[in-house]
Amino acid sequence: MAGDVTNEESLAKIVEATMKKFGSIDILINNAGFGYFVECDKFDMETFRRMMDVNLFGIAALTKLVVPAMKGRKAGLIINLVSSSGKFVFALGEFYAATKFAVMGYSEGIRKELKEHGIKVCTICPGMVKTKFFSGQELERRARLNSGKMPNMLSVGDVTRIISLLCSQSEGCDIQDVTLFPF
């Protein structure tokens, strides 16, 4: 199913269709996002707002729609894929990091709020992952910062293995935050 995380009506249709097909939503993985890397005196406010809409408000909107069913079952797992930029900021990454720091704060708050309802909330903060997330220009810039070499990156499989681990944790275990970097 395709949808738009910035459109609550679109999200509501997806949640409704999922509930109709499967009867419940046990795990929510919030993974929508995009980056915007620019000098602080040259940024475009509309692009920054759009990034906040996708990276933060989209997560909150989808979570809002899924939580009532999880509360009703007294169980659930919400995984928010954040970024290491939710913990560490680098030059030209301040706008992206602002959205990711916000997701970390949001996640910590709902983790505390939803615990009494049997719902776990975990954040995953990966470093660079080999995907189409980065533009060619951004990859070139990062290579220049890394003595001309492309930085090591995680594979998508590295991240999916962590997601599998989180989804298979025992009821008595609460993995709240995972940060991973390429080795």
Q: Per the residue annotation, which of 37, 95, 96, 106 is the catalytic one?
A: 96
- Sign for the pseudo-dihedral over CA of 73, 118, 111, 86: negative
Residue 119 backbone dihedrals phi, psi, to 5 degrees: -105, 125
CA 25 → CA 58, 119, 153, distances in Å? 18, 12, 32
Q: How many CB atoms lie within 10 A of CB 46?
A: 8
- Per-position DSSP letters for 56-67, written without gaps between them: IIHHHHHHHHHH
Residue 105 forms beta bridges with which residues? none
The number of angstroms, rounded, from the C-alpha of 40 to the middle of its chain's C-alpha atoms is: 23
96 catalytic per annotation: yes
Cα 54 from chain centre: 10
Beta bridge partners of 27: 77
Spatial distance between the Cα atoms of 82 and 123, rounded to a whole number of angstroms:
6
Catalytic residues, by residue number, are 96
